[in-house]
Structure 1
Amino acid sequence: MNVRKIMEQAQQMQEQMARDLGALEVEASVGGGMVQVKMNGHKQVLSVTIDPEAVEGDDTGMLEDLVLAAVNQAGAKVDEAMQSKLGGLASSLGGALPGF
């Protein structure tokens, strides 16, 4: 496989990844469903849902921890999904790139 062909395939992979990022949505739920976060592939938070029971009382620290955990979990899910996608796209090059 020549270098030009590899570069063309790499460009196609980059374009495919950009499309996939735009379409990807993940959801994370923590605290038994008390806090839910939806995030897209660009790691932009699309929505945060908080169960009213999570805001009872003065313990804002617990709620802050739950929101932080949900956002971090959603970000990790985006990373996992994209890593999986990268593996599939790289293998489509037929082993042309060492290390993939």
Structure 2
Amino acid sequence: MAKGGFPGMGGGNMNSLLKQAQKLQQQMEEMQKSSETKEFEVSVGGGAVVARANGKKELISIEIKPEVVDPEDVEMLQDLILSACNEVISKAEEDTAESMKKLTGGLNIPGM
């Protein structure tokens, strides 16, 4: 390795690198707290089922229009509910991933 440390690392100044890592960690923690307070909503079946989730990817409510409840076709209602739940959780995950991508500049950091 060339004298002066890692190429592109400001001459190998480990203190500077450590400070940058700590700053990134703090920003990630703030982003996570911010994401957890967000709410996401998805509507399926033309508004027949509405699912809401928070940034922790927890379902917080499900609304079902009464006219969609058909005792002869329970399977359709089950499919609508399942679809709405999956979509709203995906929406929350995508938002978190996008926020993380902005924070890290697109770097793929394992475990994040």
Task: Quickly name the TM-score band, shorter chain normalised.
Answer: 0.7 to 0.9
Number of residue pairs matched by the alignment: 95
Alpha-carbon distance in structure 2 between the residues aligned to 1:11 and 1:84 = 17
Question: Where does residue 75 of structure 1 map in the other structure?
Answer: 89
1:37 and 2:61 correspond = no
Residue 15 of structure 1: CA displacement?
1.2
Q: 1:12 aligns with which of 13, 19, 26?
A: 26
TM-score norm. by structure 2 comes to 0.75
Q: 1:3 aligns with which of 13, 17, 26?
A: 17
Alpha-carbon distance in structure 2 between the residues aligned to 1:99 and 1:35 = 36
Q: Which amino acid aligns with 1:40?
A: N
What's the RMSD between the two structures over aligned residues?
1.9
Higher relative contact order (CA 8 A, sep 6+): 1
Alpha-carbon distance in structure 2 between the residues aligned to 1:10 and 1:64 = 42
Percent identical residues? 35
Alpha-carbon distance in structure 2 between the residues aligned to 1:11 and 1:48 = 35
Gaps of 5+ in 1: none
TM-score norm. by structure 1 comes to 0.83
Moved more, 64-73 or 5-14: 5-14
Q: Which amino acid aligns with 1:32?
A: G
Q: Which amino acid aligns with 2:71?
A: G
Q: Which amino acid aligns with 2:82?
A: L
| Higher CA-based Rg | 2
Question: Where does residue 68 of structure 2 map in the other structure?
Answer: 54
The structure with the largest helix share of the pair is: 1
Q: 1:88 aligns with which of 102, 106, 110?
A: 102
Contact 2:28 2:103 survives alignment (8 Å): no
SS across alignment from 2:63? strand
